[in-house]
Amino acid sequence: MSKFGQTLPPYPLEGVVEEALRGAPDVAPSGDDRGFYLDLAEPFVRLLAEKQADDGAIHDPYWEGGESPTGTARFGGAAAVLLGARRCTELLECAAAAMDYRCHALQRSGVTGERLAGPDFETRDLMLGLRFLSPLVNAGRSRQWRECLGGFDPESVYVDVLAQHSAERIYNWNVYALCGEWLKYRDGVADNRRWIDDYVALQLPRFNEFGLYRDPNCPFTYDLTVRQGFSWMFANGYAGARAEEVDELLRRGALTMLLYLSPLGQTPYGGRSNQFHHTEAMAACICEFEATRYAKRGDRQLAGAFKRQARLCARATAPWLLGMEPPRHLKNRYPPETLHGCDPYGHYGVYGLLASNLFGVAYLMADDSIEEAPTPAEMGGTLLSLPDGDPPLGGFHRAFATCQGYHLEFDTHAQPGEDATGLGRLHRRGVPSWVGLSSPAPANPLYVIGADRQQPGASACAAWQDDGGRWRCLAELPGDQLRTELRQEFVSTAAVSLTAIHAVHSGPVLTERLELSEAGLTVSVSSSSEGDRLGYCVPVPIFDGERHAEIEATPTSVSSRWEEGAFGIECLGDESRLVRTDRVLENRNGALAVYRVEGCGPEVQLRLSLTSPEPPAEG
């Protein structure tokens, strides 16, 4: 721990990861090396190179606006890393033309005062281009890039700055600008260290005691994007006035992250811009930086855990980046032109190339001499509860549990339009994520879905029948009508149990107990009011944008079967029954059918499970 760690509130998880890894057995290596990051980076670079205009701009094939903001710079940076590794050599002129176009645009903005769309993001990527393309082009062209990038005032060109916004409105965009400006100093292009120091100081209060960054509404993607940006700065020798403080926050955030990642290597759902592959690329960058940190300290266990986790995160994106044509930029199989699951700004080119760019950065930070060791997600027996926070920054308000290969994520106060309160994720190691539940269905989503966006919310959550005989479920309630408290019951390598107490405004107080074990997730629901008829709603994935699941149902069970595995619901109460409601809802991953277990006694019980496909019979 740094000296700064002594002036922060105590880190709530000090020693937790180390304890989870104590006595961990050796694991078989993943078999991947740093070259796999480049494999993941190539598809979008090659595809988007075909969409380059005569002026060097990269056009998005599925956006009517043509060149999407930041896309050309991201292409230039990602292509430069590939070219520096002697890949995609035929794309040198494409990458150089993209550099010409965006470097001159930034310089012109500094001279004319013309505001660009998202310039804060571009310098970091263009500095990758300068670093790796300069040896491959003539000296005059490289000199022009250097002069353009060094010839503008950051305060007059960038958007997320005090010249444009009050301090409380400056968030993640600014960290990209900080990273770009540090790279400029590191490579002798410009010295804006005082500017960097001032804005780093402004950013520090955005972190909580867990080392997680709080963008508005605390979306997980924007915690990751900020921490990977600072990690890349440190990998490039960052030594600013507040470096020690940032370093301690990065240490904390990375350890916290190991406890919330899925055993499948996926980052959490939660807030805007989730389910895109660049989030796993961000996690891989962070893990590679931390692996090197601990290797230098001689901590082989943590170094190996971060190394392996980086590779698991990268591997999690392969089904969509390497297994589909054209590649997908988020975790569904819908044709890209539908934009299903996309935020209004989540363009195919922008976020596809962001993943390519970040996997390139992970390649640059990776040290393949570090041997893999087990991760907490693989070992299990962990429970992480992240509390809500005070306005205006708030908190992450959710719990993560991992045990016997299973993993859950539970949200206690969902953000409207993005998530739904309740259990929104159930994964199992060895079973692909689309078989289980990866994210809930929000009410009236703020992102694109195929149907009318007016839909109720759905998560796996408690339900009850009101006085009029209508079934109600917690996921449908507005946040001001529900208060949820989480309690840890017990944590071991055999089972993890937590209890959620739900106080419904003008309604019952429901107790929901969740226990993860080798058998799956066992759930029980009871009420403070006698005579309440209780139930439990479960959204079941039935369509991934290309394929439909096969449904097998009885009055007390259902199985949603895919080629790669099955998601099952089983009633445990003698008098319970399982019904399919008339609701088919959508989330970023696909379509979900909502089932409800209906009990008759004071408690309803059920089990959720994920299974791999049975091997074919011999003979």
Assign residue 41 the CATH number of its domain: 1.50.10.10
pTM of the model: 0.97
How many CA atoms are closer than 13 Å to the CA of 484, on its beta-carbon side?
30
Residue 616 lies in a domain: no
- Quickly list DSSP for 130-144: HHHHGGGS-HHHHHH
Same domain, 247 and 305: yes
Query: What's the whole-number mean pLDDT along residues 227-235?
Result: 98
**Does a structural domain hold residue 262?**
yes
Q: Is the pLDDT of residue 5 over 70?
A: no
Task: Give the end of a domain, one of 334, 350, 378.
Answer: 378
What pLDDT is recorded for position 575?
Answer: 87
Same domain, 488 and 573: yes
Residue 212 is assigned to a structural domain of this protein = yes
The whole-number pLDDT of residue 6 equals 47
pLDDT tens-place string over residues 52-65: 999 999 999 999 88
Mean pLDDT in residue range 417-431: 97
C-alpha to C-alpha distance for 9 and 12, rounded to whole angstroms:
8
Measuring CA to CA, how many Å separate 576 from each of 154, 555, 570, 572, 603? 64, 9, 10, 7, 10
Pairing outcome for strands 398-403 and 406-411: antiparallel
3-class DSSP state of 207? strand
451 with 344, same domain: the answer is: no
What angle (nearest 5°) sits at the alpha carbon of residue 181, between those of residues 176 and 182?
100
Whether residues 349 and 407 fall in one domain: no
Q: How confident is the model at residue 4 (pLDDT cuts 50, 70, 90)?
A: very low
Q: Domain range holding 101?
A: 3-378
Quickly tell me which residue has 């891989």 as its tokens.
284
At 496-519, the pLDDT tens digits run: 999 999 999 989 999 999 999 999
Q: How many CB atoms lie within 10 A of CB 385?
A: 17
The string of pLDDT tens digits covering residues 78-101 is: 999 999 999 999 999 999 999 999
Reported as a pLDDT band with limits 50, 70 and 90, residue 140 is very high
The DSSP symbol for 528 reads: S
pLDDT of residue 532: 86
Could you say which DSSP state residue 227 is in?
H
Q: With 50 as the cut, is the pLDDT of residue 181 above it?
A: yes
Q: Which residues contact 128 (CB under 8 A, 6 or more apart)?
A: 76, 77, 78, 80, 81, 357, 360, 361
Read off the pLDDT band of 8 (50, 70, 90).
confident
Q: Which two tokens stand for residue 336?
A: 């890209």
pLDDT band at 616 (very low <50, low <70, confident <90, very high): low
The three state secondary structure string of 343-398 is CCCCCHHHHHHHHHHHHHHHHHHCCCCCCCCCCHHHHCCEEEEECCCCCCCCCCCE
How far from the centroid of its chain's Cα atoms is residue 150's Cα? 33
Q: Is residue 619 part of a domain?
A: no
- What's the mean pLDDT in 173-201? 98
Domain identity same for 350 and 402? no
- The residue out of 338, 356, 378 marking a domain boundary is 378
User: How many other CB atoms are there within 10 angstroms of residue 105's CB atom?
Assistant: 21
Q: What confidence tier does 615 reach under pLDDT thresholds 50, 70, 90?
A: low
Instruction: Tell me the per-residue pLDDT of 568-611, one tens digit each, with 9 for 90 and over.
Output: 999 998 889 999 999 999 999 999 999 999 998 899 999 999 99
Angle at 265 between CA 361 and CA 562, to 5 degrees: 130
**Type and span of the H or E element at 512:** strand 509-517
Question: Are 358 and 398 contained in the same domain?
Answer: no
Predicted confidence at residue 618, as pLDDT, reads 57
Measured N-to-C along each axis, helices 122-133 and 92-112 cross at an angle, to the nearest 10 degrees, of: 130
* Dihedral pair phi/psi, residue 87, rounded to 5°: -115, 160
Task: Let me know if residue 598 belongs to a domain.
Answer: yes
In tens, the pLDDT along 147-161 reads 999 999 999 999 999
The number of residues making up the chain comes to: 619
Distance, first Cα to last Cα, the chain: 60
* Count: domains in the chain: 2
Task: Please give the Cα distance from 380 to 372 (Å, whole number).
Answer: 17
Question: In this prediction, what percent of the chain has a pLDDT beyond 70?
Answer: 98
Sign of CA dihedral 128, 336, 418, 253: negative
Check residue 617 and give its pLDDT: 56
Residue 617 forms part of a structural domain: no
- Residue 374, pLDDT > 90, answer yes
Residues 467 and 504 in one domain: yes
Matching residue, tokens 């001032």 = 198
Measured distance CA(357)–CA(136) in Å, rounded: 19
Final residue of a structural domain among 340, 359, 378: 378
For residues 307-312, give the mean pLDDT. Answer: 98
Verify that 579 and 606 share a domain, yes or no.
yes
pLDDT at 452: 75
Residues 226 and 127 occupy one common structural domain: yes
**CB count, 10 Å around CB of 78?**
32
CB burial of residue 527 (10 Å; 0-12, 13-18, 19+): buried
The whole-chain average pLDDT of the chain stands at 96
* CA gap 396, 588 in Å, rounded: 20
134 and 31 co-located in one domain:
yes
Q: Containing H/E element for 578?
A: strand 577-586
- Contact by Cβ (8 Å): 446, 345: no
What pLDDT was estimated at residue 619?
46
3-state SS class at 24: coil
Residue 455 has pLDDT above 70, yes or no: yes
- Within-domain flag for 130: yes
167 and 127 inside one domain = yes
Residues 231 and 308 in one domain: yes
How far apart CA 376 and CA 18 sit, in angstroms, is 9
**Are 70 and 121 contacting, i.e. CB atoms less than 8 angstroms apart?**
yes
557 found inside a domain: yes
pLDDT on residue 462 = 98
What pLDDT is recorded for position 613?
86
| Contact predicate 608/521, CB 8 Å | yes
Q: What is the CATH number of the domain that holds 477?
A: 2.70.98
Mean pLDDT computed over 6-29: 91
Statement: residue 535 has pLDDT above 90: yes
